[in-house]
Chain A
Amino acid sequence: MAIYLQILSNGLMLGALYACLAVGFSLVWGVLNVINMLHGSFIILGGYLTFFAWHLYGIHPVVMLPIVAALMFALGFTLQKLVINRVVSAPVLTTLTLTFGLDMILYNAMTYWFTATPRRITLDLGAVHLGSVVLPVDRLIGTGLALAMTLLLYAVMRGSTIGRAIVAVRMDRSAAELMGIRTDRIYAITFGIGALMAGVAGVVFATVFPITTNVTGIWLGKAFVVCVVGGLGSVPGALVGGLVLGLVESFAGHWFGPQQAITAGFVLMLVLLLTRPTGLVGVRGYE
C-alpha cells in the first residue's frame, strides 16, 4: 500500500510539471492553429538560462523565474511577429515545417554554445517524510511553482481583457476581428505566453532533471501527449492531461518497467486520438 502512495505522489508531482510544460504548447496550437516544434528547445533554453545564472553568478532559480519568463516572452513575441505571422494561416504542413526549421537553428545554436553535456542544479534541500512517503523538497518546490504558474495563467485567461481576447480569437477569429480585436497582436501575445510557459517549465526542470539539448524531442513529445489527452487550447485541458499522463507514467513504470512508461503514454494518446479527439475535458467543435 505504502508503495502505491509513493507512486501516486510521484505521479502527481510529475503531472504538475507536465501540465506546466504543455500549457503553452496547447495554447499556441489551439489559438494560432500552429504546432510549435520549437517548444522543446524553448524549455531547454529556459533551463540553460537558469543553470548558467546559478552556476556563474549564484542567482537562485526562484529569482531567475520572472527574468526567464520576461526574456522568453520577448523572444516568443518577436518570433511570432516577425517570422511565423507571415505564414500563420497556411496549412499545417507549412507552419509545422517552418517551426521545425527554426528549431533546428535554435537547437544548433544551443548545442554549439552550451555543448550537450547534461547539467543540473542541485539544491540539496533534503526531503519531507509523510508516513512512509518521501517527498524531496526541491521537487515539491518545483511542483508548487509549476502549479502556481499554470493557475496564474488560468486566472489571466479568465479575468484579464487580454485573456478574454485570446479566448475570443480561439473560438472564432473572424468574429473576434469584427469585435475590434487585433488578431495579429493576440497571436504574438499568445506565442509569447507559450514561450514564457516553456521557459518557466525550463526553470523548474533545471532543478529536477538534467538539462541538455538531447532531450528537447522528449519534452516536445510529452507536450503532444498532454495536449491530446487533456484537450487542446485550454488551461484546464493541459492540467488534466498533465496529471493523467504523470499518473499513467508512474504506474506503468512501476508495473511494466521504466521503458514502458513512455510507451504507455503514447498508447494512451493514440487511443484518445481515435476515441475522443477533443481530449478528456475538451469541448466539441473546438478542434
Chain B
Amino acid sequence: MRSGFPLYAAMVAGLLILATTPLYADNYVVRTAAIVAMYGALATSWNFIGGFTGYPSFSTAAFFGLGAYVGAICQRNGIPMGLAWAIATVTVAGFAALLGGIILRLRGHYFAIGSIAVVELCRLVVSSWSSLTGGGDGLNLPLMAWPPEQLMRFFLFVMLGILLASLIATILVDRSRLGFGLRCIHQNEDAAAMVGINTTAYKIAAYTLSAMFCATAGAAYASWTGYIDPTDSFQIVMTVKVVVMALLGGAGTILGPALGAAAFVLLEELFWANFLDWNRAILGVVIVLLIFFLPGGLLSLGVLRRLRAATGSAKAEGGK
C-alpha cells in the first residue's frame, strides 16, 4: 500500500466541504467553517512539536497572539494587509526559533510549564507596553469596507489557505528526514542523539514550524475581527483547546489534528447553542471521556484507521 490516496481524498473532500459552505448556507455556517479552518491550522501546527516530537507544548496562544499584534501594528502603520501577515509570520517564526533554543532544553513537565509561562509572559508584556500595543485598551485595525457576506467569504478562504499550507507542510515533513528524526526524538531522545540526529536543530525546526502558521492565523484573525486586546489574544484556554483538538483527532497523524478541530468546534457550537449554562462542563466531560475511551483519537476508530495508515511513517506514532 503506502499510497497516500485515501489521505489525499479525505483531505480534499474536507477542504471542499468547508470551501463550498457559502454556496448553500448562511453567514453563521460560513463563519463556523472559517473557525474550523482556523483551529484546524492551529492544531495541525501544534502537531509538529506535540504530535511528531512528543513535546507537550502549550505555547500556541503565544504565537497566535503575537502574530495578531505584529500584524495589527504593521497594518496600523500603513503596511498592506497581506504583507502585514507575512511580516507577522516571519517575525514570530524567528521569535519561536530563538525561544526554542532556550526552552527546548527542558523536558516533560518542565517544558510544559515553560511553554505555558511563555503565553502568560507575552500577555503581560503586551498589556504593559502601552505605547506600542495600546495596553489593556487593545488596538483597532483599519476596517474593511466590504459587505459582511463578502468579508466572511474572504476570511473563510484565507483561513482555508492557511490550513492547506499547514497540511502540506505536515505531509512534506512527514515524508522527510526531518519527520523521521522527530519521531525518533519522540520515542527516545537520547538514543536519537546517539545515532547522529541533531536533536537540538530538529526540535527547534519543529517548534518554529508549530509557530509560523499560528502567527499567520493570528494576524488574519486580527484583520478579520478588527480589534484585538491582550486577554483575548493570549488565552491559556485556547492553548489547551488546541491540544485537546489534536488529541481528539489523533496526535502525530497527518489529518488527525484538523479532523479533531472540526469535531471540537462543531461540538462547542452545539453546546453553546443548546446548553448555555453548562457548555464548559459538557466540554469537560467530552475531554474526560476522550482520555478514557479514545486515547488514540478519532483516527484510531475502525473506519478512519485507513487514513492514519495512509502514509508509512504514521505507524511510528503510538510507540509511546
Contact = CB atoms under 8 A, between A and B. Distances in A.
Contact of A94 (B127, B284, B295): B295
A101 B285 contact: yes
B121 interface: yes
Contact of B109 (A35, A87, A90, A107): A35
A246 to B, nearest CB: 18
Given A104-B283, A105-B284, A266-B121, A98 B114 contact: no
B113 interface: yes
Interface stretch (B70-78, B156-164, B236-244, B253-261): B236-244
Interface residues of B, number: 44
Contact of A263 (B106, B113, B121): B121
Contacts of A97: 240, 243-244, 247, 287, 291
A42 interface: no
A260 B128 contact: yes
Contact of A33 (B106, B109, B120): B109
A263 B128 contact: yes
B284 to A, nearest CB: 3
Count chain B CB atoms within 10 A of each CB in A87, A93, A94, A102 and give the residue with the most. Answer: A93
B320 interface: yes
A274 interface: yes
B277 A100 contact: no
A259 B287 contact: no
A103 B283 CA distance: 11
Given A35-B112, A267-B121, A100 B105 contact: no
Nearest to A287: B110
A104 B243 CA distance: 15
Contact of A96 (B56, B124, B279): B56
A269 interface: yes
Contact of A100 (B127, B278, B287, B292): B287
Contacts of A274: 102-103, 105-106, 114
Contacts of B291: 87, 94, 97-98, 101
B56 A101 contact: no
Given A33-B109, A274-B105, A105 B285 contact: yes
B116 interface: yes
Interface in B59-80: none
B281 A104 contact: yes
Contact of A105 (B127, B247, B281, B292): B281
A62 interface: no
B280 A108 contact: yes
B288 A266 contact: no
Given A29-B109, A97-B240, A270 B121 contact: yes
Interface residues of A, number: 41
A36 B263 CA distance: 26
Contacts of A228: 110, 113
Interface string A186-209: 000000000000000000000000
Contact of A86 (B106, B114, B118, B292): B292
Given A98-B288, A277-B106, A221 B120 contact: yes
Contacts of A100: 240, 244, 284, 287
Nearest to B240: A100
Contacts of B103: 270, 273-274
Interface in B266-300: 277-281, 283-288, 290-292, 295
Contact of B110 (A101, A112, A262, A273): A273
A287 B279 CA distance: 37
Contact of B56 (A92, A267, A269): A92
A67 to B, nearest CB: 26
A118 interface: no
B50 interface: yes
A228 to B, nearest CB: 6
B108 interface: yes
A208 to B, nearest CB: 23
B125 interface: yes
Contacts of A108: 277-281, 284
Contacts of A87: 291-292, 295
Contacts of A91: 54, 56, 320
A35 B236 CA distance: 15
Contacts of B114: 270, 273-274
Nearest to A221: B120
Given A93-B50, A101-B284, A270-B121, 16 more contacts: A90-B295, A91-B56, A93-B56, A94-B291, A98-B287, A101-B286, A101-B290, A102-B288, A104-B280, A104-B287, A217-B236, A224-B117, A228-B110, A266-B117, A267-B121, A277-B106
